[in-house]
Structure 1
Amino acid sequence: MNWSELERHFSAARLGRYYRFFGQDADKAAEAYAHNLLLAEAMIPMLNVLEIALRNGINTRLSKHYGRIDWWEAWLGAAEFNWQNKEIANTKAKLARKKDVLSADKIVAELTFGFWTSLFNTTFQAILWKDLRLVFPCCPKSIRQRHTISSALNQARDLRNRVFHHEPLLWLAPALIEQYTASEEIISWLDPQLSAWGWLNTTECAWCG
């Protein structure tokens, strides 16, 4: 498939960065775009493990804290949770449109990664952090601070969004391998044994540096 056809399918705007980076060498740009697809695919197992384990860990802690499986209902009317309450309302509406079961488990599964990472914002230092720090039992106490966890999760969220929105991964700063390693570290804070589930053999990946 020639370059003009690739641009027709993937758009000139999307492919332009690859084309410019390789000095308008269409063959190299096309190869880089293909490698970017493989890199995105390689990130998915780790991101899957991180997102699911994180939300389930948070769900467990907050269920215990509030003494109910639908712990978010305790936030109704609380101004500090306005954004979270809107996200929950949107999730309920989405499930209703699909005629899906409106259960606590379904709501937890449908809430976005951004929702879960938002619970580590400064706003919730005094409200949630005492319980949410227990989501990371294997994080060294010297770095198990809300701001450290929040920063790490926000970087992982940005990486996740780039992967799932099909954005370039080849020119990230910090580099992709550093971001991957940082996200793997978060998983190890949850449980070191989980790391094997999202493992990427970086020695076999020529584009990971």
Structure 2
Amino acid sequence: MNSSGYDQIIQTLAPERLGAYGTDSDQPQLILARYLLNMALCESLYSPLQMAEIALRNSIHRELSIHFDTDEWFLAPKSQTTWQARKVHEAQELLKSKAKPTTAGRIVAELSFGYWTSFFNKAHASSGIGHRLASKVFIHAPRRKRNLKKLDQRWKRIRDLRNRVFHHERILHWADLDQQHSEILEAIHWISPELAELSKTLDRYTQTRQAGLKPWIEQLNR
């Protein structure tokens, strides 16, 4: 690709966006290779992040349905914080605006990842719900790993990474990305070892990370 081709790509993608991947002194090939590697890393993390989110959501829904003896547990008093109740109301209103039934399953699917990760905060530690979920949802986790503070921190990290990946933001520079990838798979294992094994069949993160920039530079130089 000649220099005008690179310039056209950079202008199309926006110089401001690509500015995060290099400086004016860097060769365009290197900047674009970093951009492509970042996209590939995001793509490789998409499936384990998706499985972690769905596993957490469905497991919490199942356990709270048992605890409150109804699949509409989110309507029960003291089942959630004021912020969470507002999010449930917003989900109900959104479904109504689309002329869809406000069934428990649809509401659960509509709620954000942040809604589910917030079950391990201080408010739910006080109510006892957080401790119940820690023991019931993460049944395959070592006891020391079911500490609410540690679970809250872990799921916040997973949520933050998920948001960056799903919004195509830069993660290439994160020094602890390998550790975060391992923590996602471990968290899935705590919920379901079988699902963790299934996650590995789609997981290309390690190969993508180890290959680094070389394959992308080679492709751009062809």
TM norm. shorter chain > 0.5: yes
**What code does the residue aligned with 1:149 have?**
L
Displacement, 1:101? 2.0
**More helix by percentage:** 2
Displacement, 1:202? 4.5
Greater length-normalized contact order (CA 8 Å, ≥ 6 residues apart): 2
Displacement, 1:89? 1.3
How many pairs are equivalent?
A: 204
Partners in 1 of 2:174 and 2:206 — Cα distance? 19
| Cα shift readout 1:145-184 (whole Å, capped 9, x = no counterpart) | 111111111110011001001001211142x221111111
Displacement, 1:7? 3.4
2:101 aligned residue: 101
1:204 aligned residue: 207
* SS at structure 2 position matched to 1:143: helix
Q: Which has the larger radius of gyration?
A: 2
**2:71 is equivalent to residue 66 of structure 1:** no
**What code does the residue aligned with 2:86 have?**
K
Partners in 2 of 1:154 and 1:203 — Cα distance? 22
* 2:12 corresponds to which of 9, 12, 19: 9
1:83 aligned residue: 83
Displacement, 1:190? 0.6
Partners in 2 of 1:67 and 1:115 — Cα distance? 21
| Cα shift readout 1:96-131 (whole Å, capped 9, x = no counterpart) | 222222110001111111100011111110321232
Native 8 Å contact 1:39 1:207 kept in 2: no
Native 8 Å contact 1:170 1:207 kept in 2: no
**What code does the residue aligned with 1:19 have?**
G
Relative to 1, partners in 2 of residues 1:179 and 1:23: Cα closer, same or farther, differing over 3 Å?
farther
**What code does the residue aligned with 1:195 have?**
A
2:217 aligned residue: none
Partners in 2 of 1:51 and 1:114 — Cα distance? 10
Native 8 Å contact 2:121 2:130 kept in 1: no
Relative to 1, partners in 2 of residues 1:111 and 1:6: Cα closer, same or farther, differing over 3 Å?
same
* 1:41 corresponds to which of 40, 43, 61: 43
**What code does the residue aligned with 2:99 have?**
K
Native 8 Å contact 2:44 2:204 kept in 1: no
Native 8 Å contact 1:45 1:197 kept in 2: no
The gaps in structure 1 that reach 5 residues or longer are: none
Overall identity of the aligned pairs, in %: 32
Native 8 Å contact 1:120 1:149 kept in 2: yes
RMSD between superposed Cα atoms in Å: 2.1
Partners in 2 of 1:167 and 1:173 — Cα distance? 15
When normalised by structure 2's length, the TM-score is: 0.85
Native 8 Å contact 1:46 1:197 kept in 2: no
**2:29 is equivalent to residue 24 of structure 1:** no
Relative to 1, partners in 2 of residues 1:5 and 1:89: Cα closer, same or farther, differing over 3 Å?
farther
Runs of 4+ in 1 over 4 A off after TM superposition: none
1:142 aligned residue: 144
| Cα shift readout 1:56-88 (whole Å, capped 9, x = no counterpart) | 10001111111111111114xx6x711101111
Relative to 1, partners in 2 of residues 1:203 and 1:111: Cα closer, same or farther, differing over 3 Å?
closer
The gaps in structure 2 that reach 5 residues or longer are: 214-222
When normalised by structure 1's length, the TM-score is: 0.90
**2:120 is equivalent to residue 120 of structure 1:** yes
Relative to 1, partners in 2 of residues 1:99 and 1:68: Cα closer, same or farther, differing over 3 Å?
same
**What code does the residue aligned with 1:196 have?**
E
